Homo-oligomer: A and B are copies of this chain.
Amino acid sequence: MENNSTYISINNEILLKTQGALGINDLSIQRGYGIFDFLKVIDNRPIFLDDHLNRFYRSAEEMNLSMDMDRSALKLAIHELMQKNNLPNSAIKIILTGGYADDGFTLHKPNLIITQDAFTMEDRTNLKGMKLVTYNHQRQLPTVKTIDYLQAIRLRPFIAENNADEVLYHNNNQIGECPRANFFIVTDKEIITPKDNILSGIIRSKVLKLSIENYSIIERYISLSELEQAKEAFITSSTKNAYPVIAINGNQIGNGQPGSITAQINEKLYELMMDKSVIAN
């Protein structure tokens, strides 16, 4: 829901969100060219900020976008926006576009947009679980967090027709990721997430470092047919944390209910996010 008194920042200038605009010669509009990152804020603490900024600067570099603000200046801009908005529980999006191009093609100076919107995490003890439908697609530039969501949005009717909540990409039967989340399965002894050709999600990286009794947490190839043997499945993202998947392509996962290992992981992620000593930035 839009809040008309929310502020945003464009090129380090704070203005009302309703006044935030880019000229039509910006390369995001002309050529879909831009990168971004997205993180949540809990009790005024931007969660895993340094991880997100690491990825943001890496994405910018991969796309030849020259950020003229260094990390401390960017942090300051984020904190100033947070002070102005006073939204203790929220989500922050940082977009860096290709910038204005008179010829509609050549990169010059990027435009930096920072937005903040109210956001509250779902009650992690009462998640109903989501249904996925698979689709053969490999994201171009998978390791870069570009603004390219052409397939993700184009496929919304396909997802609805298949009675699903989100799509899970596979590349010729090799499982990849969801458009806005990473994917995990749980077997008897392992918690497994695809290894390559995916975006390296921040929550995914945190899960890989957890300790779950009696389970190894590993990265490796997952085939489409392996999904049938999964005891549990879940996705990870900054908004969803670890969120249970209860069906894929109409086939129930496990007993069709959110799984206990997923709940355990979610609990540990929550502890991590609440640990002020770990995430101080």
Q: Name A residues whose Cβ lies closer than 8 Å to a Cβ of B.
A: 1-2, 8, 10, 17-18, 20-34, 62-64, 93, 95, 97-98, 102, 104-107, 113, 115, 137, 140-141, 146-154, 156-157
Cross-chain pairs A/B with CB under 8 angstroms, 15 sampled: A2-B102, A20-B23, A21-B23, A24-B115, A26-B29, A27-B153, A28-B29, A29-B97, A31-B149, A32-B32, A32-B147, A62-B154, A63-B154, A105-B152, A148-B148
Contact of A32 among B28, B107, B113 (CB under 8 A): B28
A153 / chain B contacts, CB cutoff of 8 Å: 27, 31, 33, 64, 98, 105-107
A29, B22: Cβ atoms closer than 8 Å: yes
Q: A36's closest neighbor in chain B, by CB?
A: B30
Residue with the greatest number of chain B CB neighbours at <10 A, chosen from A27, A29, A62, A156: A29
CB A31 to nearest CB in B, in angstroms, measures 4
B28, A28: Cβ atoms closer than 8 Å: yes
A149 / chain B contacts, CB cutoff of 8 Å: 31-33, 105
Q: How many copies does the complex hold?
A: 2
CB A171 to nearest CB in B, in angstroms, measures 12
Q: Please, how many angstroms separate the alpha-carbon atoms of A22 and B20 in the complex?
A: 8
A147 / chain B contacts, CB cutoff of 8 Å: 29-32
A62 / chain B contacts, CB cutoff of 8 Å: 154
Q: Please, how many angstroms separate the alpha-carbon atoms of A30 and B95 in the complex?
A: 8
Q: Please, how many angstroms separate the alpha-carbon atoms of A31 and B30 in the complex?
A: 12
Q: A21's closest neighbor in chain B, by CB?
A: B21
